[in-house]
Structure formats: structure tokens, C-alpha cells
Structure 1
Amino acid sequence: MATKDLQGTLELLVLRTLAATGAMHGYGIVQHIQRASEDLLRVEEGSLYPALHRMEQNGWIESEWALTDSKRRAKYYTLTAQGQRQLKQAEESFDELVKGVRAVLRYA
């Protein structure tokens, strides 16, 4: 179970980012996570785009092509209702994981 939770952390971060910011393109998501984590977390684009594709296939996010502020075409991602439900579940699962890790650290 812990392995699955750790693997889902990127998805959790992306879903939370989209819930907080609304529509964003991939590079914006990367930048937001980095800023919000005070540079503690860095998401490689090579990891992000496969995760975005999986989340879109799962119906958690939707995408649409649009122009960036610099007039370049980019795919913008938004959270769906199903994605909001997944976010809630992922946050609960992550909280349980953290609770377990804290218990082990206190015990050890």
C-alpha cells in the first residue's frame, strides 16, 4: 500500500495544484509545485507528462489547447468532478501514509 501511495504523490500534487489554480499548462504546473514547496520539490517534465496523460485517461483532468501569455500553443489542464473526488481520496490516503511514517519515527 505504501508503494502505491508514494507513486501517487505526483498525481496528488498535480490535482491539488489544479484545484488551487484552475487551468494550467504543464510547465506552469511544474513551476507552481516548485514555488509552493519552496524549491524542495522539483518535478521533471519527463515524469509530469505521462502522469498527466494517465490522469486524463482516468477522467480526473481534461485538457484543451490554448495560447500562453507569450502567444505559444500549450495544452491547458483542468480538474474534473471525478478529479475532485480523486483528490479528496488521495489526500486522505496521503494523510494516512504520513500518520504511519510518523508513528514509526516515534517508535524507532
Structure 2
Amino acid sequence: MAEVVLTAENFKQEVLGSDIPVLVDFWATWCGPCQMLGPVISEIAEECQGKIKVGKVNVDEARDLAMEYDIESIPTVFFFKEGKVADSFVGYKDKSEIMTIINSL
């Protein structure tokens, strides 16, 4: 299972209604740090299937979601558990740092 492309239409079902934790990556194609983080997020999506769902929100295409979650800098990553934000970070983090957060969920 690759990352889920999240939109205003599917966010509630895919993220807020998920029965497993969800990593949500707010990103944009023109963002350098987002391009660095992207492969790390993809790797986590492949390795953690069934443990965590991984979704991506393109802030240029889903402006409403970006505004709803007060995204001011990208990349911003939220971790949702039981429909609520459990953790987050802004900027680039390496895989081990992200896995530490995932394992704490």
C-alpha cells in the first residue's frame, strides 16, 4: 500500500475515521525539504503497512485542509490517533526520528 492521497473529500474517512494511527504529510511539489522528506515517508509507508496509514496532502491542491490545520510551513507532518492529532513536526526529520514518534503512538 502506497501513500493515500488525501483531499477534503476523503480526509474524514481516511484520517479521522481510521482505526490505526495515521501519518499525514502536508507538502508541495516546489518545496525542497518536502522533496527530501518524500522518499523517507514512502519508505515508512511500505515498511509499516498495517501498523500506520500514511497520507499526503498537497497544500496547493487542498488549500482548505492546509488552512484548517494552520499549515504555515512545509513540510509539516501530523500523527493522528483515534481521530485526534497526537504529535507533529515541521521540517525534515530522518527516518529514525520519525519511527520513534510512530513507535510512541
TM over 0.5: no
Higher relative contact order (CA 8 A, sep 6+): 2
- Larger strand proportion of the pair: 2
User: How high is the TM-score relative to the length of structure 2?
Assistant: 0.32
- Larger helix proportion of the pair: 1
